[in-house]
Amino acid sequence: MTFPTPLTRTRAMRPPGPLRRGPRTAAAAGLALGIGLLPVVALLPAPPAHAAPTPQPTQGGQPSGQPTGQPSGQPSGQPQNGQPQNGQPQNGQPQNGQPQNGQPQNGQQQGAQQQQGAQQSGQPAGEADTQAALVDQEDQRILQIRSVLTAILQIGGQATGQWKQPQIFGSSHGKTLVLPNTGQAYTVADLAKYGGKYFKRLPDGSFLLGIPVYVADGAELTLKNPDGPLVLRMGSLPGAFASIVSFGGKIDIEGTARNPVQVISWDPRTNRPDTETADGRAYIRAVGGEFHAKHAKFAQLGFWSGRTGGIALTGTDRPQSEYKRYTKEERHQRKQERLEANKNRGGGGGPGDIEIQEPGGTATHVPAADLVTGSIDNTTITGNAFGLFVSGSNQSQITNNRIENSLVDGLVMHRFAKNANISNTTVTGSRGDGFVLARATEKIRVTNSTAEGNGQNGFTVNGAALAEGPSASGESLQTFGGSSISNSVARGNGHYGVELLGGHKLSVQNSKIIGGDMGIVVREGATEVQISGNQLTEQVRQGISVRDGVVDASLAGNTIVGARTGIYLRDSSGTMTGNVIKGAAAHGITFVGDADGSEVRNNTLQGRGTSAVSTSRSSGDIAEDDNNTDGWTDTASLWMKARRYLTPMNLIWAGVFFMVLFSMLRARNGGLRIGRTGLHPYELQQPMEKRQVWSLPRRPAGPPPAGPAAPAAGPAGG
């Protein structure tokens, strides 16, 4: 089995000899220059096949590319031949993303998922740099193929005729089997026909793919075997790994319940699945177009980023063919046509388009023609970097699946994924989150699904806006929402059961949350969140936590058992009605910070702690009514109870009542009236005719009072 040259080769490694360029090629080069394809002009004439070194045979005489035994498509999970399974670092390498020797990781960051992947996969800084560079090379390879194919198909003549047939295309990034649109679906037999030495059938009946495959716009690749099980081993050597990428085409992988299609990365040197992601790994990706998988098993695929993470369905902001390249005037004309056609619907997009409703900034519009659509049904995914990654999609159907042991997150719905249905899907053993509904996703329904034993959250729903203010890309300030989790289970996850970040009208209903530090966490300014009918048990700290600017949250009919605090609300507002809290050890419901406008009504609180409803650390008007606290044991000390009632307002009212009482005890003008009863308080103010007649005592008879003394006689004289 021969593999293409590793991606790290240079132009000096090309076979010697001049490259022939005819008149058609010169015209294509001029066209390429005109549309900005100077870096790929030299790639227009496909060079002859350039084979990589063939793997050496084993001691038994069998080539190393041939496996021994019947393949199962499932990793054993045990280290084999010194190779770690599931990407687990060995030999003292750091865990949880801590770099060696205290050096920070400076690899290229490609969004929150990639950063989390580097941290959780325990990759040293050098391996992170290598994987990020490989992702860039893969992007460049795909864009080069697409650009060259588009340019040549516009020329016409012999060159166009040649490129309308499947062929192996060589570039500075390696070789690729290009499958253009011929009107017929490609099958496994076509891969064997056109892939040549890069696609071989092994003695055990499985197939080994040793070259990347590109499914062009309008083309279709079908992987199924009506005669029995189909096992496809995608070759994965350092820097030279196989991939299947469609750009506007269709990939259909269909097995049966008895004989599912098995797709697995394969290292022919060890005859085992490739568990090392540091040097890249085989993956499958659909860019626009369609992707369908039914009754399939995928294992040990992908590395580093979401789009190369294993199985990726991604939309595109690039037109899928040259027919969609419009001039500025044509774009304005088509926009006016869309506005006229949709004015009665109140939107500027076409049917199936994704556009942010009522944006606070510039609207982000993704045409429906460039979205990816697809379905994943009755499929098992094991050991991928990202189990399943979906972005830029509309109405994707993900049903009856199981995703196990992903190196980062299990199921990721990324930007501009809308109206998806996820049901009866289990995600277990991911190092990151189980289910992730990232920013710019809307109206995604998760039902009857399970997230168990994941390293971080069971479910994460992020409805925050793409920007918080002016930005270079002019992203909208509008939040996203309408997504829901219902009738699902989160069990034994490392961080939270469910976390809601921002957004509008998100909901968690009729679900079971078992274990975790907290059960359901709502934060970052989410509005009108509905959490109802859930059963939460065995949380360490809080059953439900609502904090950091959440507005108008509704918590109704939830049952919380065993958490230290049943419901915790901080700097947020919400209505708590009909909840049952049992076994709380601190508080049934706690308010902290500004909780103005919150209501606590008809809740049943049972447990043992300092208070059933704690508002001592909160401010604002909180309405409490008809809460049943008969089953609550108050363990507060006398001083705590005194402090509970010695609030400033209570002290003011106590002073007022004391003054009134003191005034009543004082007589108006006769001193204290203690012990005097029967006296009218206004006895002396009655009318004269109603007053009591008092008789004045007469003085006893006696001599009249002496008159005034006579003046003294003057001296005699004449």
- Give the N- to C-terminal CA distance of the chain in Å, as an integer: 179
More confident residue, 163 or 566: 566
Comparison of pLDDT for 663 and 579, the residue scoring more: 579
Q: Is residue 524 predicted with pLDDT exceeding 70? A: yes
Say which range, 420-434, 567-581, 635-649, has the weakest mean pLDDT. Answer: 635-649
Which of 144-158, 287-301, 320-334, 657-671 ranks highest by mean pLDDT? Answer: 287-301
Going by pLDDT thresholds of 50, 70 and 90, the confidence category of residue 79 is very low
> Of 389-393, 475-479, 485-489, 503-507, which range is least confident?
475-479
Please say if the pLDDT value at position 458 is more than 50.
Answer: yes
pLDDT class for 681, splitting at 50, 70, 90?
low
Is 454 a residue whose pLDDT tops 60? Answer: yes
Q: pLDDT value at position 471? A: 83
Residue 364 has pLDDT above 90, yes or no: no
**Are 321 and 280 a contacting pair, CB within 8 Å?**
no
The residue with greater pLDDT, 491 or 328, is 491
Residue 582 per-residue DSSP state: E
Cα–Cα distance list, 632 to 319, 485, 539, 599, 613 (Å): 64, 32, 19, 20, 10
Contacts of 558 (CB under 8 A, 6+ apart): 531, 532, 533, 534, 535, 536, 543, 544, 579, 580
**Phi and psi of 383, rounded to 5°?**
75, 15
3-state secondary structure 292-358: EEEEEEEECCCCCCCCCCEEEEECCCCCCCHHHCCCHHHHHHHHHHHHHHHCCCCCCCCCCCEECCC
Long-range pairs, 135-141, Cβ under 8 A, ≥24: 135/108, 135/110, 135/303, 135/304, 135/305, 135/307, 135/308, 136/108, 137/7, 137/173, 138/173, 138/243, 138/308, 140/173, 141/7, 141/171, 141/173, 141/174, 141/176, 141/212
Q: Is the pLDDT of residue 119 over 60?
A: no
| SS3 (DSSP) at 430 | coil
Calpha distance 97→116 (Å, rounded):
8
- Average pLDDT (543-551) is 97
The reported pLDDT for the residue numbered 518 is 98
What is the structure's pLDDT at 6? 46
* Mean pLDDT over the full length of the chain: 78
Statement: residue 426 has pLDDT above 80: yes
3-state SS of 215-234?
Answer: ECCCCEEEECCCCCCCEEEE
Note the pLDDT tens digit of each residue in 3-42.
Answer: 554 444 333 333 333 333 343 333 333 323 232 333 333 3
Residue 570 contacts by C-beta under 8 Å, 6 or more apart in sequence? 545, 546, 547, 548, 591, 592, 593
Q: Which of 222-231, 257-266, 521-530 has the lowest mean pLDDT?
A: 222-231
DSSP letter for 15, please. P
Can you tell me the mean pLDDT for 619-638?
88
Q: Would you state the pLDDT for residue 101?
A: 36
Give the residue from 49, 9, 57, 68 showing the smallest Cα distance to 197: 49
Which pLDDT score is estimated for 510?
A: 98
Query: Where are the domains positioned within the chain?
Result: 1-8+112-323+364-432, 553-561+575-660
Phi/psi for 87 (5° steps) reads 70, 20
User: Would you say residue 553 has pLDDT above 80?
Assistant: yes
Tokens of 645: 């009632």
At a CB cut-off of 8 Å and minimum separation 6, what does 671 contact?
A: none
H helix runs in 478-533, sequence order:
none
The pLDDT tens digits for 170-188 are: 888 889 999 999 999 999 9
Give the rounded percent of residues in the chain with a pLDDT score beyond 70: 69
CB 422 within 8 A of CB 447: yes
* CA distance linking residue 484 with residue 500, whole number of Å: 10
Tell me which of 48-52, 456-460, 504-508, 562-566 is least confident. Answer: 48-52
Flag whether pLDDT at 515 surpasses 70. Answer: yes
pLDDT band at 300 (very low <50, low <70, confident <90, very high): very high
| Helix extents (H) in 556-688 | 638-645, 648-665
Question: Using CA atoms in the order 592, 613, 495, 482, what is the torsion angle rounded to 10 degrees?
Answer: -80
Does 96 have pLDDT greater than 70? no
- For residue 306, the model assigns a pLDDT of 92
Bridge partners of residue 594, in order along the sequence: 619
Q: pLDDT value at position 674?
A: 52
Of 325-334, 353-362, 502-511, 566-575, minimum mean pLDDT range: 353-362
Q: How confident is the model at residue 294 (pLDDT cuts 50, 70, 90)?
A: very high
CA atoms within 13 A on the CB side of 658: 6
Query: CA-CA distances (angstroms) from residue 264 to 31, 72, 291, 380, 501?
Result: 40, 10, 18, 12, 35
Position 564 scores a pLDDT of 95
Q: Which residue type sits at 190?
A: D
Q: Which residue has the higher pLDDT, 92 or 630?
A: 630
- Sign of the alpha-carbon dihedral angle for 273, 277, 282, 288: positive
Q: Hey, what amino acid is at 62?
A: Q
Q: What is the DSSP letter of 703?
A: P
CA 479 to chain centre: 14
Range in 216-230, 305-319, 419-433 with the lowest mean pLDDT = 305-319
Task: State how far the Cα of 591 lies from the Cα of 569, in Å rounded to an integer.
Answer: 5
Least confident of 164-168, 194-198, 463-467, 644-648: 644-648
Please tell me the class of the 1-8+112-323+364-432 domain: mainly beta
Q: Is 619 within 8 Å of 634 (Cβ atoms)?
A: no
CB of 264 closer than 8 Å to CB of 293:
no
The model's confidence at residue 651, banded by pLDDT at 50, 70 and 90, is: confident
297 or 67, which is more confident? Answer: 297
Task: Provide Rg for the chain, Cα atoms.
Answer: 40
Lowest mean pLDDT of 116-130, 155-169, 300-314, 341-355, name the range: 341-355
Question: In this predicted structure, what is the pLDDT of residue 252?
Answer: 98
* More confident of the two residues 166 and 369: 166
Could you write out the DSSP letters of every residue in 158-201? Answer: HHHHHHTS-EEEEETTEEEEEE---SS-B-HHHHHHHHGGGEEE
Cα(463)–Cα(501) distance, integer angstroms: 6
Note the pLDDT of residue 51: 33
Q: Which has the closest alpha carbon to 581: 600, 561, 595?
A: 561
> For residue 644, what pLDDT band results from cuts at 50, 70 and 90?
low
Indicate the pTM of the whole model.
Answer: 0.72
Whether 362 shows a pLDDT value over 70: the answer reads no
pLDDT in tens, 556-603: 999 999 999 999 999 999 999 999 999 999 999 999 999 999 999 999
pLDDT tens string 205-243: 999 999 999 999 999 999 998 778 999 999 999 878 999
pLDDT of residue 475: 83
